[in-house]
A = this chain, B = another copy of it.
Amino acid sequence: MSWLPSLLTDTPESGYELAIKLSRMAVKKTQPDDDTRSKLRADYANNADSLTMVSNVVATNFQTVAQANNYWRD
């Protein structure tokens, strides 16, 4: 099973969750070691600018997901 079978989601909220997943996947593919990523989590989860940077990536991915779903207008 693919981790990304589709960009289509039923609701805006699940689309937002997909945007978070997309944002994390690039990190995981760049740093595949689970332990290392766990340690790094303490860094960015406790730093204001790091969290803003994360939010920026989610925003870009959410733009893509929202476009794919025609903004869930229907």
22 A–B contacts from the bound complex (CB under 8 Å): A3-B13, A4-B13, A7-B66, A8-B71, A26-B51, A26-B59, A31-B45, A44-B52, A47-B48, A48-B50, A49-B50, A49-B53, A52-B53, A56-B57, A57-B59, A59-B64, A60-B60, A61-B63, A62-B64, A66-B68, A67-B71, A68-B73
Chain A residues proximal to chain B, CB less than 8 Å: 2-8, 11-13, 16, 20, 22-27, 29-31, 36, 40-41, 43-64, 66-68, 71-73
CA distance A58 to B25 in the complex (A): 10
A52, B59: Cβ atoms under 8 Å? no
A7 CA to B26 CA in the complex, in Å?
A: 19
Contacts of A8 in B (CB 8 A): 71, 73
